[in-house]
Amino acid sequence: MFQLFDRAGASRAHVPELSGCYSEHACSESCSCIGNMLKTCFLSSVCGKAPLNTKIVGGQAAVQGSWPWQASLHRITSGSHFCGGSLINKDWVLSAAHCFQSTAAANVKIYLGRQLQTGSNPNEISRTISRTVTRLITHPSYSTTTQNNDIALLQLSSSVTFTDYIRPVCLAAAGSVFGGGTKSWITGWGKLKFADTQIPNILQEVQIPIVNNSVCNKAYGGIITSNMLCAGLDEGGKDSCQGDSGGPMANKNNSQWIQSGIVSFGRDCGIPKFPGVYTRVSQYQSWISSPISSDLPGFVSFTSTESSSVFLKC
């Protein structure tokens, strides 16, 4: 038997482009009217845009502002990072349910626009972008045994203002397809190696391919569900790890970044033949949208038909 670890710090239908964030306000030039009051903002002008991102290869420290939706979750009592998350609109962050098995909402502070865990963060200091959490919602069917439905929503204590360094990510819409071999990016402050005792100070990024669920399911002895997505290299070495939990796995679609997964669990970190396992975001469009009364996240359909019956070697 092998041991699975979550990756928290303490352990480890097509939606048209117009259906982005809507709210009850008068229509503006950048929005289209629906009925008398509701407006729907052009999604392409808001989510998944990273003006400072020029990514080509992975496995390195991220350039400041490359991933403007990346959130760092800290326990207030210790002041330390324990999980990641992603900004999905001005008021909500998406993360993993297992991050909150022993951490209450009242003990969480969220940092946005952060590059370094210690030292100067010029794009953070010049703006008020730390927030506490007023509401924590974990999926009612989350299983601590199988990690199925490992997803959570956190409502910020107050809205944030979007800048080049703080922006929401688009989310994969229901029915999105991520074929084996699809290039994906993972970001976070998780351990660089499973045996490490500390997390890196600088936000890290790595590119790895999607692994077909059938292949992943064999590796993990039949525990992978349709609510999960796997990614990794056959030879290992590139993976998410403890401290990355709750953070995003994102895929580029032209000029937009779309979040396909949430860091969930794996066998150690970077072990050959064992890809990392992620919560499949496209399975939760209705659940994510349900508690959000205004400015709905931008859901975008993604289809990649790349297919591989074995791990892609990069």
Q: Give the model confidence (pLDDT) of 81-97 as tens digits.
A: 999 999 999 999 999 99
Question: Structural domains in the chain?
Answer: 5-304 (2.40.10.10)
First-to-last alpha carbon distance for the chain, in angstroms, is 29
Q: What is the pTM of this model?
A: 0.81
- How far apart CA 185 and CA 202 sit, in angstroms, is 16
pLDDT band at 300 (very low <50, low <70, confident <90, very high): very high
* Cα→Cα distances 87→48, 113, 286, 288, Å: 10, 10, 17, 13
- How far apart CA 2 and CA 299 sit, in angstroms, is 36
Q: Are strands 228-231 and 130-138 parallel, antiparallel or unpaired?
A: unpaired
Residue 182 pLDDT > 70: yes
Task: Find the radius of gyration of the CA atoms of the chain.
Answer: 18
Tens-place pLDDT, residues 51-66: 776 543 335 677 778 8
Higher pLDDT, 307 or 118: 118
pLDDT band at 12 (very low <50, low <70, confident <90, very high): very low
Burial status of residue 104 (CB atoms within 10 A of its CB: 0-12, 13-18, 19 or more): exposed
- How far apart CA 264 and CA 21 sit, in angstroms, is 27
> For position 11, what pLDDT does the model report?
41
Residue 230 pLDDT > 90: yes
- How far apart CA 141 and CA 88 sit, in angstroms, is 22
Mean pLDDT of 4-11: 57
CA angle at 184 for the pair 207 and 289, rounded to the nearest 5°: 140
Q: Which residues of 69-93 are buried (b: 16+ CB within 10 A; e: fewer)?
A: bbbbbbbeeeeebbbbbbbbbbbbb
CA 240 to chain centre: 12
Query: In sequence order, what are the beta bridge partners of 138?
Result: 152
- How far apart CA 100 and CA 116 sit, in angstroms, is 23
Tokens of 217: 């399911």
Looking at residue 97, the DSSP 8-state letter turns out to be G
> For position 28, what pLDDT does the model report?
35
Tens-place pLDDT, residues 266-288: 887 777 889 999 999 999 999 99
Amino acid at 164: D
Instruction: Determine contact, residues 121/113, Cβ cutoff 8 Å.
Output: yes
Query: In sequence order, what are the beta bridge partners of 111?
Result: 72, 130
Residue 195 pLDDT > 70: no
Higher pLDDT, 38 or 87: 87
Among 83-92, 113-122, 158-167, 298-307, whose mean pLDDT is lowest? 113-122
> For position 119, what pLDDT does the model report?
74
Instruction: Determine contact, residues 117/190, Cβ cutoff 8 Å.
Output: no
Coil, strand or helix at 90: coil
Which residues are marked as active site? 98, 150, 245
Helix or strand holding residue 286 (H, E): helix 285-289
> For position 255, what pLDDT does the model report?
86
Q: For the chain, give the percent of residues with pLDDT over 90.
A: 56
